[in-house]
Amino acid sequence: MSDNGKPKFAMYWASSCGGCEIAVLNISEKILDVDAAFDVAFWPVAMDAKYKDVEAMPDKSITLTLFNGGIRNEENAYLAKLLRQKSVFLVAFGSCSSEGCIPGLANFSSGKDLFDTVYDTISTDNPEGIRPQYNWTTPEGLDIHIPVFSPTVRTLDQIVDVDYIMPGCPPESHQIAAVVELVIKALNGEAELPPKGSVIGAGGSTVCDDCPRERNIKKITKFVRIHQVENIDPDLCLLEQGILCNGPATRNGCGALCPQVNAACIGCYGPAADVADYGARMITALASVIDSRDPEEIESILDGIPDPGGSFYRFNLAHSLLHAAKSAWVGD
Amino acid sequence: MTEQFEPIIIGFTCNWCSYRAADLAGTARLKYPPNIRLIRMMCSGRMDPTFILKALSEGADGILLTGCHPGECHYLEQNYKALRRYLMLRRTLPQFGIEAKRVKLVWASAAEGVRLAREITTFVEEIRALGPLNWKDSRAYNNGYGVAEVEVSTEVPA
């Protein structure tokens, strides 16, 4: 790569869906600023590059690396370590790399269950029960190795040191644009970067604070699924209507988009500031508003939340205090 | 002789009732197993589920929550909040493969030293029967798994 004096930029996807890359492209004409300010050193989704090219770069030669995706296998972990070594600023970009996100829900299941779901279901045509082998030698004598699958999905900061965290599934494009602008200004000496470890591109409060719906004293006597409500009051807090909304535990920054279109917050922006365990915060929030003192009645109200683990940890399981179900570790 | 499993149990007690019940049990020289480590809070309503999850993830085998009897909370109705959190937690923990029985809620007034000592003894036996949780060890195993040390060449291309 020719040296044009520009700082280098990298973006990598580990265990993710690709939505984060689309969110970056969605910053529209600001992407030209990125191109003007940075030399793209490594971005597999946008341009061809080989891992050996990155391996050959001097340490700390990439100024900014946006790392999206969780750490699902050996290859993801290797790239996390490699990019940490080569980057000045490593950003855990998006929900997967900062908290595990939807792929992290696999931590509720054992590796065996996951493989059974993929290779051995009633609709799978696999009569010989073939499973992937990590190491195999072809008849021609070629040794093939595929990355070893880890017992659980881990977040980037569980593998390497992370400089900044940018939450969201995916991060909102206007937030990405603001962060890009700030980094460019900081490189020109016109602004200062926030302290290491900061959450960037998000607010410091909760989704409820950004939500325009009317809020009263909550007294919940029944939880309902959103399709069970005939007429959703468009102006009243969803939680007050018995719809499980994760707004009280979730960091703001998205602009409360979901509640504004009658969809409950599912928590993609991760835990609010100073929340150690997202699910615990949801349990605390709901316990305060369930209107019953009778254990049996409380149980029947809680029947309205059929999957508490999935509802309270939808995006945060890999970064929760318990991290995974026991079966994920012991293997059955 | 094989060594008997000694569970580690964290007991969250309320300043106004169960902590004093434990105190009373001590003054009366009642015996209960030393497996429980009591932590005093101002109220069972202070019990954030985070504390329980943190204790379980860092080596506790069981958690005993104690608070004032319903209707007798020093702060009016915070013990009902503790009850609701506890019931919700009991539904969540099994999804993690943690037996709901590892967390127990007991009401004990300041006068019920005998009862609290008996409840602690019963709970320790229940947890002993369940066996160790070993969350910390599982985690350590996981951390070393599938992450080979990276040998990165730092050679600069010509």
Predicted ipTM? Answer: 0.91
| Average pLDDT for A103-125 | 90
All residues of chain B having their beta carbon less than 8 Å from the beta carbon of residue A152 are 142
Q: Do A322 and B92 touch (CB under 8 A)?
A: no
Domain segments of chain A as ranges = 8-100+155-187, 110-150, 207-326
From A148, A302, A329, residue closest to B146, measured CB to CB: A148
How distant is the Cα of A322 from the closest Cα of chain B, in angstroms? 6
Partner residues linked to B39 by β-bridges: B12
Cα-based torsion angle of the residue sequence A318, A322, A327, A330 in order, rounded to the nearest 10 degrees: 100
Q: Do A58 and B154 touch (CB under 8 A)?
A: yes
CA-to-CA distance for B89 and B100, rounded, in angstroms?
8
Task: Say whether A153 sits in a helix, a strand or coil.
Answer: strand
How distant is the Cα of A100 from the closest Cα of chain B, in angstroms? 15
Residue-level pLDDT at A2: 46
Q: Going by C-beta distance under 8 Å and a sequence separation of 6 or more, which residues neighbour residue A148?
A: A73, A74, A134, B146
Tokens 């509640």 sit on residue: A259
Contact residues, B window 93-132, toward A, CB-based 8 Å cutoff = 95-98
**Predicted confidence band of residue B146 (pLDDT cuts 50, 70, 90):** very low
From B53, B142, B154, residue closest to A280, measured CB to CB: B53
All residues of chain A having their beta carbon less than 8 Å from the beta carbon of residue B46 are none
Residue-level pLDDT at B157: 42
What does A176-237 look like in DSSP terms, one character per residue? Answer: HHHHHHHHHHHHTTSS-PPPTT-B-SS-SSBHHHH--SB-----BS--B-GGG-SS--TTB-
All residues of chain B having their beta carbon less than 8 Å from the beta carbon of residue A328 are 142
Percent over 90 (pLDDT), chain A: 74
Query: What distance lies between CA B51 and its chain's CA centroid?
Result: 8
Task: Say whether A251 sits in a helix, a strand or coil.
Answer: strand
CATH superfamily of the A8-100+155-187 domain: NADH:ubiquinone oxidoreductase-like, 20kDa subunit (3.40.50.700)
| B152 located within any domain | no
Residue B86: domain span:
9-134
| B125 located within any domain | yes
How distant is the Cα of B82 from the closest Cα of chain A, in angstroms? 8
All residues of chain A having their beta carbon less than 8 Å from the beta carbon of residue B49 are 277, 279-280, 283-284
Average pLDDT, chain A: 92
| B141 located within any domain | no
Residue-level pLDDT at B13: 96
Q: Is B69 on the interface with A (CB under 8 A)?
A: no
**Predicted confidence band of residue A151 (pLDDT cuts 50, 70, 90):** confident
Q: Which helix (H) or strand (E) holds A114?
A: helix A111-119
**Number of domains, chain B:** 1
Q: pTM for this structure?
A: 0.91
**Predicted confidence band of residue B147 (pLDDT cuts 50, 70, 90):** very low
| Average pLDDT for A151-178 | 93
Selection from A9, A76, A1 nearest residue A40 by Cα: A9
Percent over 70 (pLDDT), chain A: 98
Q: Going by C-beta distance under 8 Å and a sequence separation of 6 or more, which residues neighbour residue B96?
A: A108, A309, A322, A324, A325, A326
Residue of B nearest to A59 (CA): B154
DSSP E strand stretches across A2-148: 8-13, 39-42, 62-68, 71-73, 87-93, 135-137, 143-145
Work out how many CB contacts closer than 8 A connect A with B: 129
A266-314: pLDDT as tens digits: 999 999 998 999 999 999 999 999 999 999 999 999 999 999 999 999 9
Residue of B nearest to A284 (CA): B85
Average pLDDT, chain B: 88
Q: Do B156 and A293 touch (CB under 8 A)?
A: no
| B116 located within any domain | yes
How distant is the Cα of A331 from the closest Cα of chain B, in angstroms? 11
Selection from A179, A207, A171 nearest residue A93 by Cα: A171
Give the CATH number for residue B73: 3.40.50
For the cut 60, the answer to whether the pLDDT of residue B144 exceeds it is: no
| B154 located within any domain | no
CA-to-CA distance for B96 and B25, rounded, in angstroms?
35
B38-66: pLDDT as tens digits: 999 999 999 999 999 999 999 999 999 99
What does B69-129 look like in DSSP terms, one character per residue? Answer: PTT-BTTBSHHHHHHHHHHHHHHHGGGGT--GGGEEEEE--TT-HHHHHHHHHHHHHHHHH
| B102 located within any domain | yes
| B158 located within any domain | no
Cα-based torsion angle of the residue sequence A31, A33, A34, A38 in order, rounded to the nearest 10 degrees: 150
Selected residue of B150, B151, B153, B156 to mutate for chain A interface (largest A Cβ count, 10 A): B150
From B56, B83, B154, residue closest to A322, measured CB to CB: B56
Asked if residue B66 lies in contact with residue B18, where contact means CB atoms within 8 angstroms, the answer is yes
